[in-house]
Amino acid sequence: MAGIIIIGTGHAAVQCAASLRDNGSSSTITLLGGETDLPYHRPPLSKKYAVTGVPEEFSLLRAADFFEKNNIKLRLGKSVEAININQRCVVMGDSEKLSFDQLVIATGSQPRVLSIPGIEHAFSLYSLDDARTLCTRLGCTKTVAVIGGGFIGLEIAAAVAAAGQKVTVVEAAPQILGRSLTPSLAARVRKAHETGGLKFISNTAVDAIRTDGVSTSDGFIEADLVICGAGSVARSELAEKAGLTTGNGIHVNRVLETSVPGIYAIGDVACFETSTGEHRRYESVQNANDQARALARTLCGERTSYDALPWFWSDQGSIKLQMAGDSCGASKVVAVDGEKAPQTAAFCFNAQDHLCAVETINWPAYHALSRKALSGGRVITRAHLESADYVLKTALKS
């Protein structure tokens, strides 16, 4: 038996291997990963490590001896170059071939590279190695420009500013966090960052990057260092070359299977079909882990559709953003302010006026309650929440 090959050693890959063993799989399981560090948590990179440096005991996904103990072959520094569907094998950079019965593609996403002159002078942040490089460079700078006001860009910007450097965030769209947060919350986040000392230039595209700053449609901004946080793209090249159906990630059905039977995709790279027939690709730890669990069940014989409630967090200095549900198709949003600005909860409703997502700033208890409200097939209407004065605890009791 050739067993199960998992490409990647990130959140999705590691959880899938662990869940396969939890579900009693006795297959040979091999993880092939391009990185050389033991599998680690990515979120601390932008919140901490890029500024403080990578500690010797960085946050591991599993203890170092977990893989051996569970008879999981962890092969680091092994980049897969091709998938051969007919021979059912993968080919690695050093030409080594490995056969599989089932293949799981968990290659994640990587920072988008802007096609502008001088992009080679900009730094991006995806891996521990990137954090190591960035931290060394930040040791000899005073002013930093961050291109892109998305989650990762803002996390780095806040961390660098907290360390005493002058940071300017340049955003092409009129509003920061435009693709991921409801506008009223994004405005509150921006205001809180401005109070904290971050400078924003929005509605402004960067035309070129130089070693001494960035030139924009609105003039030149001086910076000793330029960090690019312009979103991520799915790493689906391997799948595309092999002839799998792709397009904003690798297309998978409800049980996370690609267009070729026996080949699956999970995590950031997977563009999956939801219970309502739409296609979604999420970049979150929750999505990676929950898809990995669902797939492990399927691979152990219990066919499982992926149907978990999405949730996400982003820590930006003193701002804690948390999201539950999918605000993508929201037609109405009601924002409720808490006691101390910027504390806010935004309730998002779909066309039927049912609660579909809750986004919070510095309100973790509300986040947890909203996950309860949105899970288990519960329907909460706008009228119901209104009658409870948007106090979630009251709404959940009645």
Partner 1 sequence: MPQICFKQNDGSSVTVEANAGQTLMHEAMRHGIVGIIGECGGSCMCATCHIHLKDPGKFGLGGISEMEETMLELEGEDITADSRLACQIEITPQLDGLIVTVASTDD
Ligand X SMILES: Cc1cc2nc3c(=O)[nH]c(=O)nc-3n(C[C@H](O)[C@H](O)[C@H](O)COP(=O)(O)OP(=O)(O)OC[C@H]3O[C@@H](n4cnc5c(N)ncnc54)[C@H](O)[C@@H]3O)c2cc1C
Q: What angle do CA 278, 283, 288 make, to 5 degrees?
A: 90
How many CB atoms are located within 10 Å of the residue 210 CB? 14
DSSP per-residue letters across 42-58: STHIIIIIHHH---TT-
33 close to 39: Cβ distance less than 8 angstroms: yes
For the chain, how many residues are written? 398
Measured CA angle at 179 (ends 111, 147), to 5 deg: 45
Q: Binder to ligand X among 146, 238, 271, 358 (CB under 6 A)?
A: 238
Which position among 311, 319, 359, 395 is part of the footprint of partner 1 (CB under 8 A)?
A: 311
Max CA distance (Å), the chain: 65
Q: In the window 59-78, what residues touch partner 1 (CB under 8 A)?
A: 59-60, 62-66, 69
> Which of residues 267 and 325 has its CB atom nearest to ligand X in the complex?
267
Which of 80, 122, 128, 348 is in the footprint of ligand X by CB under 6 A?
Answer: 80
Minimum separation from the CB atom of position 205 to partner 1 (A): 33
Task: List the single partner that 45 binds among ligand X, partner 1, none, CB under 5 to 8 Å by kind.
Answer: ligand X
Residue 60 binds: one of ligand X, partner 1, none (C-beta under 5 to 8 A by kind): partner 1
Of 30-38, 40-48, 125-133, 228-236, the window that binds partner 1 (rule: CB under 8 A) is 40-48
Q: How far apart are the first and last CA of the chain?
A: 55
Stretch that binds partner 1, among 156-164, 244-252, 360-368, 379-387 (CB under 8 A): 360-368
Is residue 315 within the footprint of partner 1 (CB under 8 A)?
yes
Residues 168-207 that bind ligand X (CB under 6 A): none
Which residues in the 128-157 window bind ligand X by CB under 6 A? 152
C-alpha 83/C-alpha 32 separation (Å) is 13
The residues, any chain, with a CB within 8 Å of residue 114's CB and separated by 6 or more, are 122, 147, 206, 228, 230
> Shortest distance, CB of residue 79 to ligand X, whole angstroms?
4
Q: Which long-range contacts (CB under 8 A, 24 or more apart) does 60-68 make?
A: 61/11, 61/14, 61/15, 62/14, 62/18, 64/38, 66/18, 67/17, 67/31
Stretch that binds ligand X, among 40-48, 69-77, 133-141, 324-332 (CB under 6 A): 40-48
Task: Decide whether 39 or 229 has the Cβ nearer to partner 1.
Answer: 39
Give me the least distance between CB of 362 and partner 1, in Å please: 10
d(CA 221, CA 121): 15
Query: Which tokens belong to 302?
Result: 């219990």
Query: Closest Cα partner for 221 from 205, 232, 236?
Result: 205
Smallest distance, Å, CB 87 to ligand X?
18
Which of ligand X, partner 1, none does residue 383 bind to, with CB < 5 to 8 Å depending on kind? none
232 pairs with which residues across the strands?
111
| Residue from the set 21, 48, 108, 226 that interacts with ligand X by CB under 6 A | 108
Q: How many CB atoms lie within 10 A of CB 31?
A: 25
Phi and psi, residue 234, nearest 5°: -65, 140
- Taking CB under 8 A as the binding criterion, the range among 131-139, 185-193, 216-224, 368-376 that sits at the site for partner 1 is 368-376
Half-sphere exposure (Cβ direction) of 132: Cα atoms closer than 13 Å: 7
Which of 6, 12, 159, 373 lies at the binding interface for ligand X (CB under 6 A)?
Answer: 12
Q: Which of 88, 254, 280, 371 binds partner 1 (CB under 8 A)?
A: 371
Footprint of ligand X on 281-300 (CB under 6 A): 283-286, 288
Binding residues vs ligand X (CB under 6 A): 7-13, 32-35, 42-43, 45-46, 79-80, 106-109, 125-126, 152, 235, 238, 267-269, 283-286, 288, 312-314
Binding residues vs partner 1 (CB under 8 A): 15, 19, 22-23, 41, 43-44, 57, 59-60, 62-66, 69, 285-286, 289, 293, 311, 313, 315, 322, 364-365, 367-369, 371-372
